[in-house]
Homo-oligomer: A and B are copies of this chain.
Amino acid sequence: MGTPERIAAVAEKVLATRDQGNSVVVVVSAMSGETNRLLALADEITDKPVPREIDVLLSTGEQVTIALLSMALEKRGCAARSYTGGQVHIRTDSVHNKARIREIEDKRLHADLAAGRVVVVAGFQGVDEEGNITTLGRGGSDTTAVALAAALKADECQIYTDVDGVYTTDPRVVPEARRLDRITFEEMLEMASLGSKVLQIRSVGFAGRYNVPLRVLSSFEEGEGTLITYEDEEMEQALISGIAFNRDEAKLTILGVPDTPGVAYQLLGPVADANIEVDMIVQNIAPDGATTDFTFTVHRNEYNRALEILTQTANELGAREVSGDDKIVKVSLVGVGMRSHAGIASTMFKTLAQEGVNIRMISTSEIKISVVVDEKYLELAVRSLHDAFDLAQPPKI
């Protein structure tokens, strides 16, 4: 939601959806800039605002939008009703600023829908058991939409974003990148967590758990977008759905650690205690057979802190050497097709070898293969893999 003009455009989209015979519940976020304006007010008052009151403050942003959108709908002859999170009993826990939804009371919504009204609900907000206003934190409006869709057993939850769908990879890196018609929740989760910023991970996970089909659409353009569902037989049989990458990586290596039981915990415990999230982990027995080599990646912002902690641990454990590199990136192939097809990994490694891209780490899961490469090879690696797996072409059915 941007400006009043944007609200008018959203009203038109809602009308079009309703005119196709659908019952519509719309979840809205605050107008752009509104959250920052409110936080700036709080900043003028105190540099340590109480989390409870931040929620009372910020939740007004969506409340303004629900009122305006409902007015825009009524102006177009469409009966509409706005509701705050509290009014439709979006019940959350009491963790202010990052609450989680527990349950939704859908009675009132059903009554409105039965009466032919469009229901407009404030995203991002709820109330705890005592009726205190809470907010859901980042991506909150998407989560509200998914939770409502689940509670109402909606046919589909459409998420309007600034892109027109999920792509095989970032079109700024590979201009031939293709919009996917469909993708599975599992693939989308891998794509999202690997750095594809279309949707907040939390709302995708939520949609998957409650089996709510999600559609990612553009707020600005027409189009079918990308439908995110569970795998089914009619689905396009691609080996690889997309290539995700993440520039914000750094890796740390400790060499020659005495190989005793529990060494992984001894190494990573202090890192976790410092609240540093560890991503990939690779462990190898060293050539001497008595010690082990250990490499892991962290967010680039945490590199220096992690290096410091690891150096201290290395001294305590009598390890031979600590090294690191914060000029690395992660590139990942994602696809449920990997499950049933061998040879994906070898094609990937061959492709990168042919382009002279040195692989520094490898990690695999059931539906993805990730490699760490030097930062300078990022674009080359992504483009050559996109080409090698023929991702610009729709899969043959």
| Chain B hits for A57, CB < 8 A | 63-64, 67-68, 71
Q: A4-B41, A42-B68, A60-B63 are in contact. List 18 more A-B contacts (CB 8 A).
A: A4-B44, A4-B45, A7-B45, A38-B64, A41-B68, A45-B68, A45-B72, A46-B74, A50-B71, A50-B74, A52-B82, A53-B68, A53-B82, A56-B63, A56-B66, A56-B84, A60-B64, A86-B87
What sequence of 0s and 1s flags, for each residue 238-255 of chain A, a beta carbon within 8 Å of any chain B beta carbon? 000000000000000000
Question: In whole Å, how far is A344's beta carbon from the nearest beta carbon of chain B?
Answer: 52
Q: Which of A52, A63, A68, A132: most chain B CB closer than 10 A?
A: A68
Q: What are 19 inter-chain pairs, A to B, with CB distance below 8 A? A: A4-B41, A4-B44, A7-B45, A8-B45, A38-B64, A42-B68, A45-B68, A45-B72, A49-B74, A53-B74, A54-B67, A57-B64, A57-B68, A57-B71, A60-B63, A63-B63, A86-B86, A87-B132, A87-B133
Q: For chain A residues 62-86, which have a beta carbon within 8 Å of chain B?
A: 63-64, 66-68, 70-72, 74-75, 81-82, 84, 86
* CB-CB nearest in chain B for A87: B131
Closest Cβ of chain B to A108, distance in Å, is: 8
A48 within 8 A of B: yes
Question: Of all chain B residues, which has the CB nearest A62?
Answer: B60
A75 adjacent to B45 (CB under 8 Å): yes
* Assembled-state Cα–Cα distance A69/B59 (Å): 16
| Closest partner residue, chain B, to A31 (CB atom) | B41
- 7 closest A-B pairs by beta carbon, nearest first, are A57-B67, A4-B44, A60-B60, A56-B67, A46-B75, A53-B67, A53-B70
Chain B nearest CB from A139 CB (Å) reads 22
The listed residue with most B CB atoms (<10 A of its CB), out of A7, A46, A49, A108, is: A46
Q: Which residues of B contact A67 (CB under 8 A)?
A: 42, 53-54, 56-57
Hey, which chain B residues are within 8 Å of A8, CB to CB?
45
Query: Which residues of the partner chain B approach A133 to less than 8 Å between Cβ atoms?
Result: 84, 87
- In Å, the complex CA distance between A89 and B132 comes to 13
B70, A56: Cβ atoms under 8 Å? yes
In the complex formed, the residue of B with least CB distance to A57 is: B67
Per the 8 Å Cβ criterion, residues 175-207 of A in contact with B are none
One digit per residue, 1 when the CB lies within 8 angstroms of any chain B CB and 0 when it does not, for chain A 32-44 equals 0000001001101
Q: Which residues of B contact A71 (CB under 8 A)?
A: 42, 45-46, 49-50, 53, 57
- With A4-B45, A75-B48 given, is the CB distance from A82 to B56 under 8 Å? yes
Residues in chain B near residue A54, CB distance under 8 A = 67
CB distance from A236 to the nearest CB of B (A): 41
Question: Closest CB-CB distance, A90 to chain B, in whole Å?
Answer: 13
CA distance A56 to B71 in the complex (A): 11
Which residues of B lie under 8 Å from residue A75 when comparing CB positions? 45-46, 48
- Separation of A54 and B66 alpha carbons in the complex (Å): 11
A351 → chain B, closest Cβ, in Å? 53
Q: State the CA gap A41–B108 with chains docked (Å).
A: 28
Q: Given A46-B74, A48-B75, A131-B87, check contact A41 B64 (CB 8 Å).
A: yes
Are A46 and B72 closer than 8 Å at their CB atoms? yes
Instruction: Give the residues from 1 to 22 in chain A that come closer than 8 angstroms, CB to CB, to chain B.
Output: 4-5, 7-8
- B-chain residues with CB within 8 Å of residue A63 when the two chains form the complex: 56-57, 59-60, 63
The complex places the Cα of A63 from the Cα of B44 at a distance, in Å, of 17
Complex CA–CA separation, A301 to B97 (angstroms): 51
Return chain B residues, CB-CB under 8 Å to A82: 52-53, 56
- Complex Cα–Cα for A378 and B189 (A): 78
**CA of A285 to CA of B49, assembled, Å:** 72
